[in-house]
Structure 1
Amino acid sequence: MSVTIREVTTKSELRRFVKFPIDLYKGNPYYVPGLIDEEMITLSRDKNPAFENCEAIYYLAYRGERIVGRIAGIIAHAANRVWNQHRARFGFVDFIDDQEVVDALFAAVEKWARKKGMDALHGPMGFTDLDHEGMLIMGFDQIGTMATIYNHPYYPQHMERMGYTKDQDWHEFKIYIPDAIPEKHLRIAEIVKKKYGLKVLKFRRRKDIMPYAHKVFETLNAAYTPLYGFAPLTKRQIDYYVDIYIPLLRLDLVTVIVREEDDAVVGFGVSLPNLSHALQQARGSLLPFGFFPLMKALKSKARVIDLYLTGVLPEYQNKGVNALLFTDLIPQYIKMGAEYAESNIELENNTAVQAQWDYFKREHHKSRRAFIKHL
């Protein structure tokens, strides 16, 4: 039976688009599903403020009436302006191991991209740097995280077969929690606080963090500027992410570093207990029973910590500010009984970020790739 590609045009089709990977990976012990309703919002033009600067198209592949693949085509106009490029992105891509299916999906997005005047297609990437990005190329026997993509080993094989090549790699590490704060970090933290007039903020109530929430994202904009495909978040996008993330935070795992003279946010670190197993139990839905394992995982002690967002203003990078984050957060991890932290994705060529783990036992256990094809 031949493959048919259909554009997603209705809400019910979009829900099938979102649910397809949950069905594709049913029973896979390493796949971690996202939340269906959250992904519906991300892909909705009237709800995601990224569409101020993006356009997108979604396709489903069918054999008869059976869905066998999905793909999104995205043009991030703001990122193209920042990087002086004319690229389209592919993302939200999943498929059965079938050459005809894969070729048809990518042919549809490549045709769309050329029609829009783009000269290359790269991904997997999302609308912003905070969406999932990078196809897994190593670590297929490692459980995924809420912040990353899991995919079958045959995915990158099909990319190479179609002529897609490496554009960028990311590495991921297990960072083992030490029994105590390294002595060097304690010394550096004290020196940095005094030298630059910095202080560490902790929060007991969510409303206490709100005066700093937008400042954190402004610091993120400055810190992430050199990163692959990044474009600064707009005020509407920051409002959107504040609404999403603040309710999820474990305040004991949030550290904000400010300059005492003007209360500017110099750096921040946000981590969470690993939610992978809870999300597997939820199978994409909070109701009727998915809410309970997620809340339990958020509030309980945890063997694994996920490092989600970390940023330091460019003028304070490589000056020891990360030591302030370590000296605050390591005792929290020890108290929780954590064995290791998942770094989540770090650019292969971002040696400064990877050097911060030199004083910890670490294991490089996953890699992922952005592929590119010139059209």
Structure 2
Amino acid sequence: MSGIEVRKVSDKTDMDQFINLPWRLYAGDTVWAPPLKKQVRRLLDTAIHPFWQFSERELFVAFRGDRPVGRIAAIVDSNYNRFHEEKMGAWGFFECENDVEAASALFRAVESWTSEKGMTFVRGPLNPSTNYEVGLLIEGFETTPSIMMPYNPPYYLPLIESCGYQKEKDLVAILVVPSDRARDRVERLAARVMRNQNLRVRTAEKKNFNSEMEIVKEIYNEAWSRNWGFVPMTEDEMTFMGKELLSVMDPDFIFFIYYEDRPAGVCFILPDITPLLKRLNGKIGLSGLLKILFYKREITGLRGLVLGFKKQYQRLGLPLVAFNHINHVARAKGYQYLELGWNLEDNHDINKFEIEVGGRIHRKYRMFRKDLPTPSR
């Protein structure tokens, strides 16, 4: 058996191999929902995506002979390191055959590159930060994760652990399928909250897209600022992500809660288009557009991307107001479920609340860490 060679991605052919590898690894896997290749390419393009305005990356592909068998990205996020006063390197976009030699070679490449950048530890998977896809799926392989939630084979866990990576934090996804009793209780409690305080709900206006995204960014960055792994999104990042998602947005599910005419909370919820992604198989052409029109009825769920409230308003019962709005609109439009995530495993208050309104822990994801050796003097 030939050995493993790890090569840096340096041209279009290399990038094509990096992007296309999952289609071979997941061939025949009916749970996997292929991403749109165009979006993956844009996310990795340092000249296009605003994340790379303040970050660096190197992409690696592992070959056994002439066959690509694995890939990984090494990342240094300067905004994160400045915000936390750390020296974190990151790995992401990992895909690999069940091949310990290949995985080890890929992680060594990441560790060498990040160490040369002066980093003291490596964390992952970050694709490319906690503001995007994050975590390795460790429980809940039976059904397809919602849009922008990762999926991977079960063998990735022992493969990564064999390379010296240990659990740093687990994340959960909560599936909400509220019963009539749960909906009625939320409605009753939300009405009480609304009666006692000067609150109102306002749905987003697509015509004012830029200003609406500015409010989303403001609340998001304040509400999550003390969370583990948080890094503020820049205005360019938020605008770019919003435009990427504009075609699948439903303005009724992007809404703000105002307290005394000041924005206090935001919900950013997307239709879960993973059934369409399976049919598109990574590409949108004329046939893809026809598939979207024909199979749109297969979209039966929602993905909660952002649900946050400014700190000074977090004791006003705003989550009840938010879920009451979600319940009414989802029922009117025929949606059957809402997947919320990711949540920190130890964020007990929010996890308990989401379970009480009809949710259950549906999937678990893991973040890993490995300290890098101290350079010898």
TM-score with structure 2 setting the length: 0.92
Tell me: CA distance 1:351–1:51, structure 2 relative to 1, closer, same or farther (3 Å).
same
Within 2, Cα distance between the matches of 1:188 and 1:301?
33
- Aligned twin of 2:268: 270
Question: Which runs of 5 or more structure 2 residues have no equivalent in the other structure?
Answer: 373-377
* Contact 1:179–1:334 (CA under 8 A) maintained in structure 2: no
Within 1, Cα distance between the matches of 2:345 and 2:294?
34
| Deviation string, structure 1 residues 228-249 (Cα, Å, up to 9, x no partner) | 3221112222222232233321
1:72-87 maps to which residues of 2 (within 5 A)? Answer: 72-87=73-88
| Deviation string, structure 1 residues 203-223 (Cα, Å, up to 9, x no partner) | 5x5215553221111111111
Aligned to 2:344, which of 344, 347, 360? 347
- Aligned twin of 1:123: 124
Within 2, Cα distance between the matches of 1:35 and 1:328?
31
- Aligned twin of 2:326: 329
| Deviation string, structure 1 residues 74-98 (Cα, Å, up to 9, x no partner) | 0111111222211100000000001
Counterpart secondary structure, 2:127? coil
- Aligned twin of 2:356: 359
Counterpart secondary structure, 2:133? coil
1:22-37 maps to which residues of 2 (within 5 A)? Answer: 22-37=23-38
Amino acid at match of 1:223: A
- Aligned twin of 2:375: none
1:10-49 maps to which residues of 2 (within 5 A)? Answer: 10-49=11-50
Amino acid at match of 1:45: T
More divergent stretch after superposition (187-196 vs 237-246): 187-196
Question: Which runs of 5 or more structure 1 residues have no equivalent in the other structure?
Answer: none
Counterpart secondary structure, 2:283? coil
- Aligned twin of 1:316: 313
- Aligned twin of 1:283: 281
Within 2, Cα distance between the matches of 1:250 and 1:343?
17
Structure 1 segments, 4+ long, off by >6 Å, are: none
Counterpart secondary structure, 1:230? coil
Amino acid at match of 1:219: I
| Deviation string, structure 1 residues 259-314 (Cα, Å, up to 9, x no partner) | 343xx3211212233211210111111124233344556x6474322222211112
1:1-375 maps to which residues of 2 (within 5 A)? Answer: 1-179=2-180, 182-203=183-204, 206-208=206-208, 210-261=210-261, 264-294=262-292, 300=297, 302-375=299-372
Counterpart secondary structure, 2:91? strand
Amino acid at match of 1:270: F
Within 2, Cα distance between the matches of 1:16 and 1:99?
20
Counterpart secondary structure, 1:258? strand
More divergent stretch after superposition (238-247 vs 222-231): 238-247
Within 2, Cα distance between the matches of 1:325 and 1:296?
32
Tell me: CA distance 1:295–1:12, structure 2 relative to 1, closer, same or farther (3 Å).
farther
Shift of 1:355: 2.1
Within 1, Cα distance between the matches of 2:187 and 2:20?
47
Tell me: CA distance 1:191–1:179, structure 2 relative to 1, closer, same or farther (3 Å).
closer
Tell me: CA distance 1:79–1:306, structure 2 relative to 1, closer, same or farther (3 Å).
same
Within 2, Cα distance between the matches of 1:84 and 1:296?
50
Within 2, Cα distance between the matches of 1:373 and 1:33?
29
Shift of 1:47: 0.6
Within 2, Cα distance between the matches of 1:6 and 1:301?
41
Count of aligned pairs: 371
Tell me: CA distance 1:186–1:110, structure 2 relative to 1, closer, same or farther (3 Å).
same
Amino acid at match of 2:349: A
Amino acid at match of 1:255: F
Shift of 1:195: 4.6
Tell me: CA distance 1:359–1:189, structure 2 relative to 1, closer, same or farther (3 Å).
same
